Amino acid sequence: MSLMEGLLHQAPSSTVTLLGAGLFLLVLYLLSSGSSSEPQGKEPPGPRPLPLLGNLLQLDFKRLYHSLFEMSKKYGSVFTVHIGAKKVVVLAGYKAVKEALVNHAEEFGERGIPLIITDIQKGHGILFANGDSWKEMRRFALTNLRDFGMGKKASEEKIIEEARYLIEVFEEHKGKAFDTTQSMHYAISNIICSIVYGSRFEYTDPRFRRSVDRVNESVRLLGSFSIQLYNMFPWLGPFLKSKSDIIKHSDSNMMEIRDLVRELKETLNPQMCRGFIDSFLVRKQTLEESSNMKSDYHNENLVQTVGNLFSAGTDTTATTMRWGLMLMAKYPQIQDRVQEEMSRVIGSRQPLVEDRKNLPYTDAVIHEIQRVANIVPMAVPHVTSRDITFQGYFIKKGTEVFPLLTSVLQDESEWETPHAFNPAHFLNEKGQFVKRDAFMPFSAGRRVCLGESLARMELFLFFTSLLQHFRFSPPPGVKEEDLDLTPVVGFTLTPAPHQLCAVSRV
């Protein structure tokens, strides 16, 4: 008699019935799960996961992008890693990322949405949304942002005006060391505000300052280990202060956006839209009057879309600018060449976007700042929309995918000196600017950053305006080589806290 038979023989009949039912259900589950999850081809390789924990013990969550980059050297350009119980496919290197996001844009085009984002946005907005609502909101946002000057002359005028305000703030420090963080974020945020709301805010406006500061803190918390733990193990939520802080910051910002929307609605003139919100309200009103059908143009989509534009449109560009000024202070000889070229080509007049083509070295430096800054090293997660065989590996529909942008921007087969700050990456032997295919800081494909043209214009105009007026250097007593380029990891990679001197050149 087997052990199981002995236990059944000695057990009461009710226990036997329950045990039998349990065994039947277990066998049924194993059979059904085995048939449904049976791979249709070879799956991407990867380290063996532990139950529940997956590969957590093999990953450094303070620098997850670095751990995955190192893993790619062992497992190749397409591999599997288990983040807790979740299976994730990682794409490494320019060729794999480009092939997936561009050549197979549809299959890799869905957005992976972390649990904390679902808690906050509930599928609304643009950045973390899928389906028809996402398509409609993205299409509307792109059209209207262009209408309000994104990447055009109107945006150029707004940026130049804001650069003057920022220069005034820098001048107030009279060459003494200061932290550029807040003023830089306020300036960049005002560009989005002028397009979305139709007006800018004073840097001293307490409501504006609170909103920008809360976004900065939330971006930092979103990349923290504790929030990554919550995304993997939701039951930890009640014990994590970082989770409650993010929810609190989001609720406060959404409330302020609703207040601003209400104020704009009270003075709305459909014949003269001041910004993105006015256009949305007019479209919403038109659809409500003409149809009884449910529309994607509702208040939650408006509020979350504005929140997406406000946070995504501020943090990445402002952080890139901070990296740029720090790199100029660290490499003064490169700063000298930028300023010499600008003095020779445009003199003391205000730099304009059309000057870019005549400033190849300056343009190369800005591109190299973006490459080295590596702001969003893992991109924003994607999800496969259908089963696909990719580079010989079967990837199931609904699999989360990390396009590892750090492996593109530092691909040793694409960049001559991938780990050094080297503007020559974007110059030919004649000193002319050259585009590089592996320059992909805005991602690519269906989910490419919708504000790319605006961000490029902002970076060029703010960078040239500031370097025309100031020479940037470390604080007294700090050597250039002592400026630490090790990033602080959040949802984006930001410079470690530091101060710079902005000495007037005028």
Of 248, 254, 261, nearest in space to 297 by CA: 261
| Residues comprising the chain, all counted | 506
**Which residues are 92's β-sheet partners?**
404
Tokens 């070879």 -> residue: 42
Measured CA to CA, the distance from residue 257 to residue 84 in angstroms comes to 36
Residues in the chain, pLDDT under 70? 1-40, 149-151
The pLDDT of residue 295 is 87
Helices (H), strands (E): how many in the chain?
A: 17, 11
Q: Do the Cβ atoms of 436 and 425 come closer than 8 Å?
A: yes
Count the helix, strand and coil residues of the chain and give each as a percent rounded to the nearest 5: 55, 10, 35
C-alpha 203: how far from chain center = 24
The pLDDT of residue 434 is 97
The pLDDT of residue 2 is 33
Instruction: Record the tokens describing residue 398, joined without a space.
Output: 């609904």
Question: What secondary structure letter does DSSP report for 103?
Answer: I
Say how many Å lie between the first and final Cα of the chain, rounded. 96
Q: Do the Cβ atoms of 225 and 491 come closer than 8 Å?
A: no
449 is an annotated ligand-binding site residue: yes
* Relative orientation angle of helices 332-345 and 452-469, to the nearest 10 degrees: 90
Q: Do the Cβ atoms of 372 and 326 come closer than 8 Å?
A: no
The pLDDT of residue 39 is 52
Of 414, 419, 446, nearest in space to 92 by CA: 414
Residues 6+ apart with CB under 8 A from 21: none
The pLDDT of residue 290 is 84
Instruction: Record the tokens describing residue 450, joined without a space.
Output: 């919708």
pLDDT digits (tens, 9 = 90+) for 182-214: 999 999 999 999 999 989 999 999 999 999 999
The pLDDT of residue 289 is 84
Measured CA to CA, the distance from residue 244 to residue 263 in angstroms comes to 29
Q: Do the Cβ atoms of 493 and 487 come closer than 8 Å?
A: yes
Measured CA to CA, the distance from residue 255 to residue 261 in angstroms comes to 10
Amino acid at 149: G
Residues 6+ apart with CB under 8 A from 323: 369, 372, 373, 375, 495
The pLDDT of residue 3 is 31
- Report CA dihedral (434, 440, 441, 443) to the nearest 10 degrees: 150
Question: What secondary structure letter does DSSP report for 284?
Answer: H
What are the distances in angstroms from CA 63 to CA 60, 170, 379? 5, 33, 14
Question: 436-461: b or e for each residue (b if 16 or more CB lie within 10 Å)?
Answer: eebbbbbbbbbbebbbebbbbbbbbb
What are the distances in angstroms from CA 107 to CA 103, 447, 495? 9, 12, 35
C-alpha 258: how far from chain center = 24
User: Is the model's pTM score more than 0.95?
Assistant: no
Supply the Cα-derived Rg of the chain in whole angstroms.
Answer: 26
The pLDDT of residue 13 is 39
**Which residues are 394's β-sheet partners?**
389
Phi-psi region of 504 (alpha: psi -120 to 50; beta: other; left: phi over 0): beta
